[in-house]
Amino acid sequence: MLDFIIRRLIAIIPVLTVVAVFVFLMLRLTPGDPAAVIAGDNATSDQIADIRTKLGLDEPIWTQFVIWISNILQGNFGESFFFKKTVAELIAQRVEPTLALAICTLVIAVTVAVPMGVLAAYRHGSLLDRIVMGFSVLGFSVPVFVIGYCLIYVFAIELGWLPVQGYIRIGVSFWGFLERMILPSITLAVIFVALIARMTRASVLEVLNEDYIRTARAKGLSNRVELMRHALRNAAVPILTVIGLGIAGLIGGAVVTESVYGLPGLGRLTVEAVLSRDFPTIQTVILLFSVVYVVINLLIDISYTLFDPRIRY
Amino acid sequence: MFDFRKSAAAIVAAASLGGLLGISPAEAQTLKVVMHSDVKILDPIWTTAYIQRNHGYMVWDTLFAMDEKFDVKPQMVDKYTVSPDNLTWTFTLRDGLEWHDGKPVTAEDCVASIKRWAARDSMGQKMMGSVANLEVVDAKTFKMNMKEPYGLVLQSLGKPSSNVPFMMPKKTAETDPMQQIKIEDVIGSGPFIFKADEWKPGEKIVYVKNTKYKPRSEPANGLSGGKVVKLDKVEWIAMPDVQTQVAAIQNGEIDMIESPGHDLLPLLSKDKNIKLVNYNPTGNQYVFRFNSTAKPFDNAKIRHAVFVAFAQEDFLKATIGDPTYFKVCKAPFVCGTPLATDAGMADVLNGNAAKAKQLLTEAGYDGTPIVLMHSTDLQVLTNLAPVAKSQMERAGFKVDMVSMDWQTLVARRVKKDPPNAGGWHAFLTSWVAADILNPVMAGFFNASCDKAMFGWPCDATIEKFRDQFAKETDPVKQKQIVEDLQKYWVDHPTHINVGQWYAPIARRTNIDGNLTAPVPVFWNVTKK
């Protein structure tokens, strides 16, 4: 197992190298000039050229790349072109809302979707099954921002139960944090509930047709024990795989959700950085997302061993 | 009989309840505003972006300021004199001016600030071309010794919009003009204090009332007069989604939106708790900018043909829609301002396609496709390029409209490459009226070839008029120069003004006191 973890961690290096080269080149090759953005509308060409020189953007592209990579290897992720702050500081300020949103979303998604999927499989072909599948199709089809606006209209504007937007850090006020997390988490969770419920239903349905389940029933086990101990546990591996793959979707969904609900998280930082061509920030955030994605999938792989003893690394 | 224990218990209970609910007395005086953009850069001299200008007005003060009628009035300056030969200007600062760190504002600070501003601002550069030196006389007095009379000294020092000559401490003002000032140097002498510890980029920027600020005794008028702060705290909340902004103001979570989209104004106007207020009656001006170096726009007659082909109302209807918020105005220096005139404009902007076609034939237009850059992500600009394309095609132009996001356009417009190889022929943008009040201030009138703004017009006659205007000290003669310039410019256009438009703020009905000014400022604003 330790060998496996070390091998996977080492494999992160080429993955990040490819991501770094790709992101760096994409940013330099796409149109847009951070110096022109910084200088503003009234700036002259000379002023823009001066700013470009100060930012080092007049250097050859490979020189810029070597400087960036060597700084990263020394733990220096650079300074934002716009804020007089290091990228590390900016990310540190923005990580809490995104982390909170991701955790709340996953908790809601798993708590709601797994029972939904199990019940749909158990009552295969029933009205409940059709409702769950109908919800899944709807969850996949409706864009995140539409769900967000609908929830805001109903729960914030019409009912006045929850605030429209904003974020309060958990250390400042737990209730403030919670009431501002409910709508964004539900909004982002809808697509995950749809995805996980569908996968859970399919996996559990497959397991329910296995011989050992029939044997378990013949032994007179209760439905709960049959479903939880035998069916769900054996169906867990594909469900975990879907959750792992869903992390990428979660990152993408966070970008939209954070914009709709005014959450100052990494998703919005990414959008702002892309729109203003803040190269150091975009590069670092995307590298960070890549690391998170790889590490979470490693954890998912490791967790397989907990549910299926046959899996050994 | 007064029961002290019962009253004390009631007060404690009320305070506890307030605490539990998160209500504090100070919150009633905190104004929460969504501005048109998040503040990323803290140095209003380093960039010309409007959000930094607005931030500048919170923290720093100016020597002079413009009132509602565009007259320049002393602000930090107590009195000033000019010698009979117009070669020596002497400025004396007001008593009691103090930086936010408690140090006094000195003449040395102001001299250093003027120099840094002038290194970045085109109007400042023009003025400094006529300045022999800036001389500190004593702690409160400095002189500006001129090489030659210059007619725009006060207009330059009282320039209302980007870049505004904000006064900074000498140490800050000595920062390289090409570098941003540091966050710890965001110290001004203005009516609000920047709270560095509460600034969270992408979330909010916070200003508190400068309790030591001594406002002028005159009532507030435009950007001039007494800057009396009636709030304890102002928070600019970063909220990029316009639909969320509207929901938040309807829900009372924010007090004001600086720039709600025009398509959302009908929704906001129906809400009895929200009022739309046009604080900037001169508004903004849409502009079609030529690349005067690229064929066929290097030919003035072909540029003039575009002027003849265009009709403003089509542009305004397509972008703004509601006539309440636009005005057909031929005056390039903006209707409602002292230099507004229609001189020379009778035959242009009438949508005369036949005449334009005839001019194109006479000019020998060879059918070169016009590369028209079309920005698609800024709602107030998106529909301009398709209208321009349609009107130009009716006149006989071939137009290749290239769609892109605004930042791509911003990057491309500084390129002098051939239009079919990454360059451009034309694009449309918008100016705040306060930026284009005279031919020196209005950047698109600068026709000094490579030193001009993108588009790089090269026209010695226009430059001669601009110099004459700058050096003329008599306002009547200045107006005559503007009329002469305008008559010449119509035939040799550097750009075309395609209409004036307005953007109201949306505020909750318990908010009042927004001043009529070209910039949204927060002194005088009250919250009930």
Would residue A86 count as lying in a domain? no
Strand partners, B257: B34, B506
| Per-residue tokens: A285 | 């955030």
Q: How far apart are CA B429 and CA B446, in angstroms?
A: 16
Over residues B71-128, the pLDDT tens digits come to 999 999 999 999 999 999 999 999 999 999 999 999 999 999 999 999 988 899 999 9
List CB contacts (< 8 A) between A31 and chain B: 404, 408, 411-412
- Going residue by residue through chain A, which has 313 residues, state the pLDDT in tens, using 9 for 90 and above: 788 888 888 888 898 899 999 999 988 888 778 888 887 776 777 778 888 888 888 899 999 999 999 998 898 998 898 877 899 999 998 999 999 999 999 999 999 999 999 999 989 999 999 999 999 999 889 999 999 999 999 999 999 999 999 999 999 999 999 999 999 999 999 999 999 999 999 998 988 888 888 888 888 888 778 877 788 888 888 888 888 878 777 888 888 999 999 999 999 999 888 888 899 999 999 999 888 888 888 888 888 887 777 777 6
pLDDT band at B28 (very low <50, low <70, confident <90, very high): low
Would residue A289 count as lying in a domain? yes
Cα B250 → chain centroid: 28
Is the Cβ pair A164, B244 closer than 8 Å? yes
Would residue A272 count as lying in a domain? yes
Name the residue in chain A with its Cα closest to that of B239: A262
What 3-state DSSP class applies to B45? coil
DSSP A270: H
Q: How far apart are CA A248 and CA A19, in angstroms?
A: 15
List CB contacts (< 8 A) between A54 and chain B: 178-179
List CB contacts (< 8 A) between B203 and chain A: 93, 167, 264
Task: Indicate whether B163 pLDDT > 80.
Answer: yes
Chain B closest CA to A30's CA: distance in Å? 9
Over residues B181-213, the pLDDT tens digits come to 999 999 999 999 999 999 988 889 999 999 999
- DSSP calls for B294-328: STTTTSHHHHHHHHHH-BHHHHHHHHT-SGGGEE-
CATH code, domain carrying A110: 1.10.3720.10
Interface of A with B in 259-298 (CB under 8 A): 259-262, 264, 268-269, 271-272, 275-277
Would residue A79 count as lying in a domain? no
Q: Do you know the residue count of chain B?
A: 528
List CB contacts (< 8 A) between B452 and chain A: 44
List CB contacts (< 8 A) between B50 and chain A: 40
Interface of B with A in 49-88 (CB under 8 A): 49-50, 52
Interface of B with A in 338-397 (CB under 8 A): none
Q: What local confidence, expressed as pLDDT, does residue B479 receive?
A: 96
Is the Cβ pair B49, A156 closer than 8 Å? no
Task: Indicate whether B484 pLDDT > 50.
Answer: yes
Contacts by residues A274-277 (CB-CB < 8 Å, ≥ 24 positions apart) = A275/B405, A275/B407, A276/A34, A276/A37, A276/A81, A276/A82, A276/B40, A276/B407, A277/A27, A277/A32, A277/A33, A277/A34, A277/A37, A277/A81, A277/B407, A277/B411
Domain count, chain A: 1
Is the Cβ pair B253, A164 closer than 8 Å? yes
Task: Indicate whether B9 pLDDT > 70.
Answer: no
Mutate to test the interface with A, among B186, B194, B407, B409 (most CBs of A within 10 A): B407
Q: How far apart are CA B300 and CA B458, in angstroms?
A: 11
Chain B closest CA to A190's CA: distance in Å? 20
Is the Cβ pair A260, B244 closer than 8 Å? yes
Q: What local confidence, expressed as pLDDT, does residue A6 receive?
A: 87
Q: Does A173 touch chain B (CB under 8 A)?
A: yes
Write the Ramachandran bin of A158: left for phi over 0, alpha for psi from -120 to 50, otherwise beta.
alpha
Would residue A226 count as lying in a domain? yes
Would residue A217 count as lying in a domain? yes
Domain carrying residue A165: 95-307
Would residue A254 count as lying in a domain? yes
- Quickly count: other Cβ atoms within 10 Å of residue A73's Cβ: 8
Q: Which helix (H) or strand (E) holds A90?
A: helix A87-122
Q: What local confidence, expressed as pLDDT, does residue A42 receive?
A: 66
Task: Indicate whether B21 pLDDT > 60.
Answer: no
List CB contacts (< 8 A) between B120 and chain A: 47
CB nearest A36 (choices: B41, B120, B411): B411
Q: How far apart are CA B104 and CA B138, in angstroms?
A: 13
Would residue A273 count as lying in a domain? yes
CB nearest A82 (choices: B41, B241, B410): B41
List CB contacts (< 8 A) between B239 and chain A: 165, 262
Q: Does B403 touch chain A (CB under 8 A)?
A: no
Task: Indicate whether B11 pLDDT > 60.
Answer: no
Is the Cβ pair B410, A156 closer than 8 Å? no
Q: What local confidence, expressed as pLDDT, does residue B12 receive?
A: 41
Over residues B368-415, the pLDDT tens digits come to 999 999 999 888 999 999 999 999 999 999 999 999 988 788 888 988
Residues 6 or more apart from B276 whose CB is under 8 A from it?
B265, B268, B269, B504, B505, B506
Over residues B404-424, the pLDDT tens digits come to 988 788 888 988 999 999 999
List CB contacts (< 8 A) between B41 and chain A: 38, 82-83
Q: What local confidence, expressed as pLDDT, does residue B15 receive?
A: 42
Alpha helices per DSSP H over A123-163: 127-141, 144-151
Task: Indicate whether B237 pLDDT > 90.
Answer: yes
Q: Does B527 touch chain A (CB under 8 A)?
A: no
Q: What percent of chain B has pLDDT over 70?
A: 95
Q: Which helix (H) or strand (E) holds B146?
A: strand B141-146
List CB contacts (< 8 A) between A41 and chain B: 48-49, 162, 410, 429, 431
| Per-residue tokens: B103 | 């140090």
What 3-state DSSP class applies to A41? coil
Q: What local confidence, expressed as pLDDT, does residue B429 receive?
A: 95
